[in-house]
């Protein structure tokens, strides 16, 4: 995910539509005087009026802002991606090789995970892939949630046999933008620690509010900040304890009248703890009939090795050369990777050329995405695994 910039010294900020007293909809600073001052300090943060905060780019900005180190903006770009790239226009945002297919009129499953729990809430929406990927485009097509249940799914968010249901908190009507669209409160409470919520080694003894599932709470990997940093205060074992090793699963309704074609699925997370909006985008193809992609079916992971613009796609001629321009392929890619291994395009694959398995909290060793096996297999694009049964049509 990319983080968008903080509020820009707005002279006339929109007043919150989620009132301070509506604690069932809120996620941070639920009582006054928590810091000794009777101030509603999240009042002008994005979640207090979901969807109203402007963003730098509807698919996010790499590193949080267009310049490194902009105050409050998140800081550093991901490995191999330049600082300040607009997510909607970046050549590094290559179209995925493995196609996800949804059927118009069906109900589909989606999920998100967190490395740092900033509270707030979220929405999913679509924009045609051949349109300019602006916030206005995404706001024309917000997706409705189906039913009033969500799930916490464990196994790094991928184990469909290990999930627990809970009643979701949905916000709609005139409290949100676009009016009448559906947003959901982030159900996972951070730590009941004033302002920080457990960030970067601060106290983390209890949740801010009742967890949706017992034990599901905390700030996440950001509590340790970076397990590779000996000054961070977390051992690898502690880092594994604090990582949020689950995803939040929701069901969405795909509009029945949606024309066939390629779309971009946008995820927008309006934060309450900080003045940030986090956004990410992905690819989906809409069909009028047939079978859709099975939720959580694995992807091969070759996009960044094979697709035009992939961060390692320029390394095909460097398998036996580490000099000159090829040095890029063997050196660690610059960029920030909270709790994740340092990445090189080549040199740290498994013996059969695939990417090593890694889960948050594991011992951190250098990692490569498995390009040699992707190239050997011909970089084939494919449709991900299909549902065994037809999608539920509503």
| Rounded CA separation 384/389 (Å) | 15
| Rounded CA separation 52/7 (Å) | 11
Per-residue model confidence (pLDDT) at position 9: 58
The DSSP bridge partners found for residue 367 are 343
- Asked if 307 and 380 touch (Cβ cutoff 8 Å), the reply is no
Per-residue model confidence (pLDDT) at position 380: 86
Per-residue model confidence (pLDDT) at position 393: 40
**To the nearest whole percent, how much of the chain has pLDDT over 70?**
90
- Asked if 333 and 345 touch (Cβ cutoff 8 Å), the reply is yes
Percent helix, strand and coil across the chain, each rounded to 5?
10, 20, 70
Q: Is the pLDDT of residue 3 over 60?
A: no
Distance of CA 153 to the CA centre of its chain: 15
Closest CA to 265 of 290, 283, 251: 283
- Binned at pLDDT 50, 70 and 90, residue 79 comes out as confident
What are 206-246's pLDDT values in tens digits? 999 999 999 999 999 888 865 445 555 677 777 788 889 99
More confident: 241 or 149: 149
């Amino acid at each position: 995910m990319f983080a968008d910039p903080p509020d820009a010294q707005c002279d006339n900020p929109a007043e919150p539509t989620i009132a301070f007293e509506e604690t069932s909809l809120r996620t941070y600073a639920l009582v006054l005087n928590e810091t000794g001052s009777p101030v509603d300090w999240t009042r002008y943060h994005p979640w207090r009026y979901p969807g109203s905060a402007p963003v730098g780019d509807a698919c996010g900005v790499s590193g949080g802002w267009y310049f490194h180190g902009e105050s409050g903006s998140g800081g550093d770009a991901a490995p191999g991606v330049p600082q300040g790239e607009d997510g909607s226009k970046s050549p590094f945002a290559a179209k995925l090789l493995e196609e996800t297919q949804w059927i118009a009129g069906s109900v589909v499953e989606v999920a998100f995970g967190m490395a740092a729990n900033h509270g707030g809430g979220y929405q999913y929406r679509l924009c045609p892939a051949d349109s300019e990927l602006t916030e206005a485009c995404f706001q024309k097509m917000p997706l409705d949630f189906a039913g009033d249940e969500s799930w916490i799914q464990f196994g790094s968010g991928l184990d469909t046999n290990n999930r627990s249901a809970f009643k979701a908190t949905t916000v709609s009507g005139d409290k949100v933008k676009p009016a009448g669209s559906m947003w959901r409160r982030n159900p996972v409470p951070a730590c009941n620690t004033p302002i920080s919520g457990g960030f970067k080694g601060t106290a983390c003894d209890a949740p801010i509010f009742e967890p949706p599932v017992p034990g599901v709470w905390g700030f996440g990997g950001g509590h340790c900040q970076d397990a590779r940093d000996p000054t961070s205060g977390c051992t690898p074992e502690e880092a594994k304890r604090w990582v949020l090793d689950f995803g939040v699963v929701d069901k969405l309704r795909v509009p029945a009248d949606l024309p066939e074609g390629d779309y971009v699925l946008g995820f927008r997370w309006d934060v309450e703890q900080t003045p940030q909006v986090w956004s990410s985008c992905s690819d989906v193809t809409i069909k009028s009939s047939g079978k859709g992609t099975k939720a959580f079916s694995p992807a091969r992971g070759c996009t960044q090795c094979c697709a035009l613009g992939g961060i390692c796609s320029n390394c095909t001629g460097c398998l036996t050369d580490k000099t000159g321009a090829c040095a890029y392929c063997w050196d660690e890619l610059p960029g920030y990777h909270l709790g994740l291994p340092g990445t090189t395009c080549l040199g740290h694959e498994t013996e059969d050329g695939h990417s090593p398995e890694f889960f948050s909290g594991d011992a951190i060793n250098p990692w490569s995405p498995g390009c040699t096996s992707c190239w050997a297999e011909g970089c084939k694009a494919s449709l991900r695994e299909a549902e065994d049964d037809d999608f539920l049509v509503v």
